[in-house]
Structure 1
Amino acid sequence: MGASITFDDSHWPLLISRFRGAATDSEYEEYLARGTAYLQRGDLYVSVLDMGQLVMPTVAQRQRQAEWVLEHAALMRERLLGCALIITSPFVRLALSAVLHIRPLPTPYVTVHDLAGGVRWTAAQLESAGLLEAVGRIRRDFGL
C-alpha cells in the first residue's frame, strides 16, 4: 500500500485527516499547506487525525510539524476547538508524547483508539462552543 494523507471535510466543522504509510517530505508539506488553508477559512472547527496506519514521520517531518504549530499557534487557539488523535501504535504514541511534552498543542487535544471515540470527543467540543446544529448532524451521521 502506498502512502497517503487524505482530508474529509464533508462533515464540516468536523475535519477528518487520515494518514496511511510513510509520507514523502513533499506530501507532508502539502498536508501542512492544507492545514493552513483550513485554519484560514475563518470558521470554528474540530479535527480528528487518524494516525492508526501512520508510519513514523521522519525527524525532519516532526521538526517541520513543530515549526508549523509554532507559526500557527494563534490561529489554532482562535479557530481549532480541539483535536482528537487516533493512535494505535505504541511507537507513534511515544514519539507524539515526547513532542507534546516539549511543545504542547495550543488547542485542547485527546488521544483515542478509534474514530468513534474521536468523533464523540470532538462533538462535545463543538457542543461546548454552542455549535448545536453541527453537533446534531455529526452525531446523526456517525450513529452516536
Structure 2
Amino acid sequence: MSASITFDDSHWPLLVTRFQGAATDAQYEEYLARGTAYLQRGEPYVSIIDMGQLAMPTNAQRQRQTEWLKAHQVLLRERLLGCALIDTSPLIRLVLSAIFHVIPLPTSYVAIRDMAEGVKWATARLAEAGLGDAAERIRRDFSAQARRRSGPSRT
C-alpha cells in the first residue's frame, strides 16, 4: 500500500486530514509543515484526523510529533478549537496516549469511530465558539455527501 497524507480544507473552518499507510519521514515533515501553515492562518478551526488506515509511525516521527506539539502549544491553544481523532487501532491509541502524556494536546480532543461522529463533534465545537453558520454549512455538506454515497432513495 502506498502511503499518503491528505488535507481537505474545502469545508473550512473544518480541516480533515487522512493518513493511509506508513508515511515516510519526508511525508511526515510535510504533514507537520502543513499543520503549522494552518495554525498560522490566524483563524479558529476544528480538525478531524482520520487515522483509520495509518501504519505505526516510526520512533523518529513520534519524537517529531512531540517536538512539534511543544513548539506550537500557544498557537494550538489559540486557534485549534478541537480535534477529533478517528482511530480504530488499539496500538495507535496507545501511541497517542503516550505522546499526549508527555505533551498534552492544549485543546479539547476526542477519539471517535467514524467521520459522521467526527463531524457531529467538530460542528458542536464550532457552534460553541460562535461559528454556528459554518457549523450548519458543514453539517449540510456532509449530509449531502452521505446521501449521494447511499444512492437514490426508493419510494
With structure 1 as the length reference, what TM-score do the two structures score? 0.98
Residue 22 of structure 1 corresponds to 22
Matched, 1:77 2:74: no
Instruction: Give the drift of 1:13.
Output: 0.2
The size of the alignment, in residue pairs, is 144
Q: What is the letter of the counterpart of residue 47 of structure 1?
A: S
The answer to whether the aligner puts 1:45 opposite 2:45 as a matched pair is yes
Moved over 3 A (4+): none
- AA in 2 matched with 1:15: L
What's the CA shift for 1:102?
2.2
Q: Equivalent residue of 1:121, what SS?
A: helix
Counterpart of 2:85 in structure 1: which amino acid? Answer: L
- Matched with 1:110 is 110
Aligned-residue offset at 1:143:
1.4
Which position in structure 2 is the counterpart of 1:56?
Answer: 56
What code does the residue aligned with 1:118 have?
G
- Structure 2 CA distance for aligned equivalents of residues 97 and 6 of structure 1: 23
Following superposition, the deviation at residue 138 of structure 1 comes to 0.4
Partners of 2:71 and 2:100 in 1: how far apart? 16
The amino acid across from 1:88 in the alignment is T
- Report the CA distance between 1:100 and its aligned residue: 1.3
Could you state the TM-score of these two structures normalised by the residue count of structure 2?
Answer: 0.91
Counterparts of 1:116 and 1:100 in 2: how far apart (Å)? Answer: 24
Ranges in structure 2 where 5+ consecutive residues have no aligned partner: 145-155
Shift of 1:90: 1.0
CA–CA distance in structure 2, aligned partners of residues 102 and 143 of structure 1:
37
Paired with 1:95 and 1:114, the residues of 2 have a C-alpha distance of 19
Amino acid in structure 1 at the alignment position of 2:20? R
Instruction: Supply the distance in 1 between the matched residues of 2:52 and 2:135 (Cα, whole angstroms).
Output: 24
* Deviation of the 1:103 alpha carbon: 1.7
- Counterpart of 1:128 in structure 2 is 128
Distance (whole Å) between structure 2 residues aligned to residue 13 and residue 119 of structure 1: 12
Unaligned runs of 5+ in 1: none
Q: Greater CA radius of gyration, 1 or 2? A: 2
